[in-house]
Amino acid sequence: MSLLGIVIPYWGQSLLRVLGGTVAVLLPAGTIVYLFLFKMMSFMQSRLGPMEAGPYGSMQLFAEVGKWLQKEDIIPERADRTIFKVAPLIVLVSTFLLVAVVPFGPDAYFTNFDAGVFYMLAVSSVSVLGILVAGWASANKYSLLGGLRAAGQLIAYELPMVLAVIGVVIQAGTMNLQLIVNEQNAGSMFGWDGLGNPYILTQFVGFGVFMIAVQAELTQTPFDMPIAESELVSGYMTEYSGFRFLIFFIAEFATAGVFALIASVLFLGGWGVPFSWFSWHSIADVDDWMNVVGPLIMFTKMMALVFVIMWVRFTYPRFREDQLQRFAWKALIPISLLNIMVTAILKVAF
Amino acid sequence: MPMKPKVPGLFKGLGVTLNTMMTTVTKGANTVQYPHEKEAPPIRARGVIALHEGNCTSCMLCARSCPDWCIYIEGHKELAPPRRAGGAPRKVNKLDRFDIDYALCMYCGICVEVCPFDALFWSPEYEYSEPRIADLLHDKSKLGEWMETVPEAPELEAGADKKGKK
């Protein structure tokens, strides 16, 4: 592999990928927390948010991390100590596993394998285990209830997410995320290839269902029944303090970033620009500089999608538990099944 | 109960938050950055209770009507020279101690209402928090200092009876 003319040996590539993975998880998480959670939420409530730490509160993130790191690491007496300690890590690791399949450029990917979509959907449900285990190991009835709610919700919304992605997979004819990017950017709409063929135009139903399901998977506000702080005292996170809580917190927003990355790969054309602009025909033709520009494009698209996720989060009040389940099983799943049927019929017809 | 999403309302809600964000970015927030800029409280705000010592007769009405017993009064009687020559010396109540414990006070204002001699007043000052809770016990000299911050009483309404000596 060569990047900008420099040939990188295998160990160098591995190092780059590990570093890149860490950056791809932590940088969006930090940006999302500062830009959206601290600032955008405040502006939407007509206040300024943190202003004291650094110019416009830009160092607030470090202050918060420092605060959490110096807090006592409390483990309840009756808690299952080992599992209690491991649970936040399970949640965080699932985020790192998720980012492994996201392509950031023609060569800037962590792995490039054919069952990428399948792997992504499988790994994204690992975090459910972490949350359920965290709720159970805390030996606290609020945590247990929160954990059970989380499990019920995440499983309920896993299905519409899977089904929404199937539409994309049918249209692209591949489960490889890199090839899905290729299909979108090399594609054409009725013979016009000026914009490629981003699947948000054909799979808009799938995109809507996917984004709603992502909102629920992230337990962001209209779907934050599991951590409902006014009734469950933050659910499965009740007993966590200090850096274990911090890990849960980072995982929540890092996963928001990674899901936004995946949504932009599946529906918005990923790292690519429409290939016709530079008269490329497939990934093999794409110039090396896209390895640098690609991540920036991905970052922009991710920010746009996270903006929507957070905007919805800061606008709507919380669903009731039964409404939440009914919405998944009675509205989203039938809609996404219908979407699959229509996509399949159109795919065969054309 | 079937769930019918109120679609226009959902989008209207998104519009409200977006509009608020835009106005905050362009015109500034509704909030005040407190330690740097201060909001002027309303003139009749219940900030702190001030004591006009000269008016106090240590009648204890305020201390007895205080719901959480945060007023401490001690006094003694003194003989003052008579008003007219040849008269008997007057007995005057002298105030030894008048403390209000602002750690207990709940700012109901009953003491101010109940005082028959206009010795207690509301002042809109509010910045008297202390690192030590015991320092929230304001003695009569400190309560007297608050008198400077008491705003002028508003004019009586036209035609109102002014009570007291002419």
**What ipTM was assigned to the predicted interfaces of this complex?**
0.71
For residue B80, give every residue at least 6 positions away whose Cβ sits within 8 Å of its Cβ, in sequence order, or none: B89, B90, B91, B92
Nearest chain B residue to A319 by CA: give it: B3
What pLDDT, on the 0 to 100 scale, is given for residue B132?
93
Q: B26 and chain A: CB distance < 8 Å anywhere?
A: no
Enter the DSSP assignment of B96.
E
Cβ pair B18:A311 closer than 8 A: yes
Q: Which of A40, A312, A331 sits opposite B21 (nearest CB)?
A: A40
Cβ pair B29:A43 closer than 8 A: yes
Contacts of A50 in chain B (CB under 8 A): none
Task: Tell me which residues of chain A have a pLDDT lower than 50.
Answer: none
Question: Residues 13 to 32 of A: which have CB under 8 A from any B CB?
Answer: none
Q: Which of B13, B18, B33 sits opposite A48 (nearest CB)?
A: B33
C-alpha–C-alpha distance, residues B92 and B111, integer Å: 22
> Domain residue spans in chain B?
48-149
How many CB pairs lie under 8 A apart between chains A and B? Answer: 45
Contacts of A326 in chain B (CB under 8 A): 3
Q: B33 and chain A: CB distance < 8 Å anywhere?
A: yes
What pLDDT, on the 0 to 100 scale, is given for residue B106?
92
Contacts of A330 in chain B (CB under 8 A): 3
Please give the residue range of the domain that contains residue A343.
Answer: 2-349
What pLDDT, on the 0 to 100 scale, is given for residue B65?
92
What pLDDT, on the 0 to 100 scale, is given for residue B67?
92
What pLDDT, on the 0 to 100 scale, is given for residue B166?
45
Alpha carbon of A137: minimum distance to chain B alpha carbons (Å) = 35
Cβ pair B24:A326 closer than 8 A: no
Cβ pair B20:A45 closer than 8 A: yes
Alpha carbon of A44: minimum distance to chain B alpha carbons (Å) = 4
Contacts of B13 in chain A (CB under 8 A): 315-316
Task: Tell me which residues of chain B have a pLDDT lower than 70.
Answer: 1-5, 162-166
pTM exceeds cut of 0.80: no
Listed residue (A79, A92, A14) closest to A239, CA to CA: A79
Question: Which of B7, B21, B27, B39 has the highest number of chain A CBs within 10 A, making it the mutation to test binding with A?
Answer: B21
CB B107 within 8 A of CB B46: yes
Rg over CA atoms, chain B = 25
Q: B23 and chain A: CB distance < 8 Å anywhere?
A: yes
Total count of domains within chain A: 1
Cβ pair B17:A311 closer than 8 A: yes
- Arch. (CATH architecture) of B48-149: 2-Layer Sandwich (3.30)
